[in-house]
Amino acid sequence: MILKVVTSNPGKVKEYRGSLASFGIGIEHVKVPYDEIQTSRLEDVVNDGLLRLKASGLEDFIIDDSGMFIDVFGGFPGVYSAYVQKTIGNAGILKLMDDVTARGANFQCCIGCNINGKDIIVTGICKGTILKREAGTEGFGYDPIFSHDGKRSFAELPLHEKNEVSHRGLAVKLLIEEMKKIV
């Protein structure tokens, strides 16, 4: 089986390829532009994206929306994570948290999948903390400042290990369980 991953982020494609290969699912990277609605919930963004892409004729595909939710900021940047990453980046987040001691956060990934004409939406959540400085060279986005175990950032983990514990990895596991019911 081949699923199309609709994204402009090659890091996501690499993670999907690594997570789904062992289940016999191949990945094809496609870049199909579509407008994303602005809303406060990842699930709403993904559901709307599924509808738009299906209306354009696309079938058998995956989209996702992910976000970093920082406790002390009431969940910000959340659905605005990509924008915040582009504007202030990890350095800006760390500066905002200079004097913050409660550094709890979670990464969330909501995956939408259209397969065999049916839709699946799942969300994976990885709880952790924001580190005091960037660490590691792997991954992308907030990976250098997020730690699931308080010891290593996501950017310090080998991809196979990150896929076991990350928000996207957890969402993929949920997706596979739901796919088994359909395929």
pLDDT in tens, 82-94: 999 999 999 999 9
* CA proximity to 154, closest of 6, 15, 25: 15
For 21, the token pair is 């290969």
pLDDT exceeds 80 at position 103: yes
Displacement of CA 65 from its chain's centroid (Å): 6
Percent of the chain with pLDDT over 90: 83
Q: What is the pLDDT of residue 170?
A: 95
81 backbone dihedrals φ, ψ, rounded to 5°: -60, -45
Q: What is the pLDDT of residue 171?
A: 96
For the structural domain made of 2-182, what CATH number should be given? Answer: 3.90.950.10
Q: What is the pLDDT of residue 119?
A: 97
pLDDT exceeds 90 at position 144: yes
Q: What is the pLDDT of residue 13?
A: 92
Q: What is the pLDDT of residue 22?
A: 81
Q: What is the pLDDT of residues 2-60, one digit of tens each?
A: 999 999 989 889 889 988 888 889 999 999 988 889 898 999 999 999 999 999 999 99
Q: What is the pLDDT of residue 141?
A: 95
pLDDT exceeds 80 at position 183: no
Burial (CB count within 10 angstroms: exposed 0-12, middle 13-18, buried 19+), residue 21: exposed
Q: What is the pLDDT of residue 156?
A: 98
Q: What is the pLDDT of residues 154-182, one digit of tens each?
A: 999 998 899 899 999 999 999 999 998 98
Average pLDDT over all residues of the chain? 95
Q: Which of 12-26, 67-81, 122-136 has the lowest mean pLDDT?
A: 12-26
Q: What is the pLDDT of residue 75?
A: 97
65 is a catalytic site residue = yes
Q: What is the pLDDT of residue 145?
A: 98
Residues 6+ apart with CB under 8 A from 36: 45, 48, 49, 65
From the candidates 35, 60, 64, 65, give the one annotated as an active-site residue: 65
